[in-house]
Chains A and B, each alone.
Chain A
Amino acid sequence: MQAEARQFQRDATTVSADLRHRGLIRKALAGYEVKRDEFKGRFRSWQGARQAAAEIKYEAVNHLDRYLVEFADKLAARGTKVFWAPDASSARDYIAGVIKARRAKTVVKSKAMTAEEIHLNEALERAGLEVVESDLGEYIVQLRKEAPYHIVFPAMHLTRGEISELFRRELGTEPTDSPEELTMIARRVLRRKYIEADIGISGANFAVAETGMISITENEGNARLTTSLPKVHIALLGIEKIVPKLSDLALFLPMLATAGAGQPMTGYNTLLGGPRQPGEADGPEEFHVVLLDNHRTRLLADPEQRDALHCIRCGACLNVCPIFRNVGGHTYGTTYQGPIGSVITPHLRGLQDWKHLSSASSLCGACTEACPVKIDLHHHLLQNRRNAVREKPVWWEKIAFRAFAFWATRPGLWRWTGPLGRIGQLVHPMIKGSALDPARAWTASRELPEVAPVSFKEYWKGRGR
């Protein structure tokens, strides 16, 4: 077994038995569920909106070359520097180069999952820079030197007590159990950073091809400050963020808010199309947009799963997933957690190392139903299982399935299944749970189903008597 799979199994076992953790996640998501359903219900047709959103992203992703060129050319025409990064290291090098050219010392960042994906903070810190995360949740996990727990709610696994203790230790503040006071501590610390930082780095939620703009969705205002005050703004985004038209956002912005956070609209939705223009009061002198591939084109090359690139990173599939809710975000060991992470990570980072995530699913389909852009998530998990076996068959599974097929396709043998099962059932209690038990992985926490006293065939034969 791969190291990644062993780590997943170990952490899943520990975390799913942690009742405090499960209670915390359940409580954190309870309010979200009520609000999400309330605001979904206000749409004239949520199903119609999903279909429209799926078709718009289909159009964008299936003509990605055309729309990306339009996007990049429009941006460049108004003084933005666009950099195309085929992989993580070229993106990191470019960003480090821009910072070095400005002789900058401090960087303020707003939330960007793509930056987590390419480990940007670590690279910049190694180069001697101070990088401060400004989103409250991201700031908390940065102080804890942890990865975000959830793509939308990075610190949802922590209690106010833990955060208060963290602030006391790292910032020397007085303990408090008020979320408001904790938020104000972060506000005070980070306010100065926006004004002092030389560089602001952000992600983007959408890239509008028609007008050459990025769109950032946030509630706190930290992204707006990050992109307003520093002299240089660098935005890092995946190439799949494209939507063709500006007016498409009239649909996507409320859908992202509703599916992702149970809000009718997120606090700030900001479109940025260039550095400070002539006649404007403020804004950065330089604006750089870094377009990241980093194996997204590998996913694009799989037509069956291409719709996974429609993802708008709302996190709705994580919130409804029974696996995510029990094993928690850190167990995945990936940048993108939950069902969408389990689908795309094998494409981004290697199928054989990450195929175990495809089995971390009950195949209940809750993710597919929750997805605002109709990604066929649970079928993609099945396809990843199939692809993994096709690419590299497991020898003992092959033998086991051959033996089963041999047995099951011969009626003469098959009719012994019931009687043998009934004998096995009598013997099983003697070895149950021991090293000899072939069903040990199952019986550790569950009972085996009972074998019926008569088979259907036997019953049918004897029914008249």
Chain B
Amino acid sequence: MNGRDTILGRIREALRLAAPAPGSHGHEAHGAVGVPGGDAFREWLPAVGPGPDDWVARFAACSEGLRTRFEECASDADALARLAAIANEEGWERVASHRSEPARSLASGLELPVLWTDDGYSPDAMEGCDAGISCCDALVAQTGGVVLTSRSGGGRALSILPPHHVVVARRAQLVPDLPAAFALLQQRYGAGYPSMMTFITGPSRTGDIERILVLGAHGPKRLTVLLLP
């Protein structure tokens, strides 16, 4: 008998006796909610305002707490100017990006050598880049998070290996909350998911030494989100 049959056999044997109803104990007992899903979670999750302006404000407030640098840009040209200012400030010599708009235009606009991930790349070369500039699928107002995939974000490593990750997003990509973000992923990729989808919430961090927050444990020390109109 193979492992699969062994385990499934044990499970079926074990499940012959029914378990008592979930969460029916304790003095904080809550009435059954009937195996909910998707949108129903909004009833319990942290509240988010109704309109896009509330979402931008919420995203900005979360970013501050997370130490994400969030910049609302007036135009694509303004975004490039702000990105160039950051590049200057940090003395970038080389960046990595991918050929999807608007990341492509911004990365090439910097007039620095660019490592494009689209046709494959060497990890050593990417490690030598000062920043990774990528697109994303959505920004989540509720958590201040960025949703991207191996397809929309130029692969798996672009958003995690370079020490500064710059996310370029359009205002229309802002969604209110996590249920909306998952609905968007399902709608966009339901027919064939990318091999990696990730929710990035702030720069890399650790509290493993005396529970004191340190940024840039293994991933990017800095995360910048440029919001384009």
Q: Which residues of A contact B (CB under 8 A)?
A: 24, 27-29, 31-32, 42-52, 54-59, 61-65, 68-69, 72, 78, 83-86, 90, 134-137, 140, 153-156, 158-160, 163, 179-180, 182-184, 186-187, 190-191, 194-195, 211, 213, 219-222, 224-225, 227-229, 239, 245-251, 253-254, 261, 264-277, 279-283, 287, 291, 293, 297-298, 300-301, 303-304, 306-307, 310, 365, 368-369, 374, 376, 379
Contact = CB atoms under 8 A, between A and B. Distances in A.
B11 A43 contact: no
A42 B206 contact: no
Interface stretch (B77-85, B86-94, B104-112, B155-163): B155-163
B211 A32 contact: yes
A43 B211 contact: no
Contacts of B150: 276-277, 280-283
Contact of B208 (A31, A32, A140, A368): A140
Nearest to A48: B44
A28 B11 contact: no
Nearest to A42: B46
Contacts of A282: 117, 120-121, 150, 155-157
Interface residues of B, number: 95
Contacts of B10: 86, 293, 297, 300-301
A283 B10 CA distance: 35
B98 to A, nearest CB: 7
Contacts of A69: 8
Q: Give the dominant DSSP class at B's interface.
A: loop
A44 B45 contact: yes
Given A28-B210, A59-B35, A220 B204 contact: yes
Given A247-B37, A251-B45, 5 more contacts: A47-B30, A183-B206, A219-B217, A248-B37, A368-B26
A194 to B, nearest CB: 8
B200 interface: yes
Given A65-B8, A265-B199, A365-B26, A250 B179 contact: yes
Contact of A266 (B35, B186, B201): B201
B23 A270 contact: no
A250 B181 contact: yes
Interface in B183-229: 183, 185-186, 193-212, 214, 216-220
B74 interface: no
Most-contacted residue by chain A among B12, B23, B211 (CB, 10 A):
B23
A393 B127 CA distance: 63
Contacts of A268: 160, 198-201, 204, 219
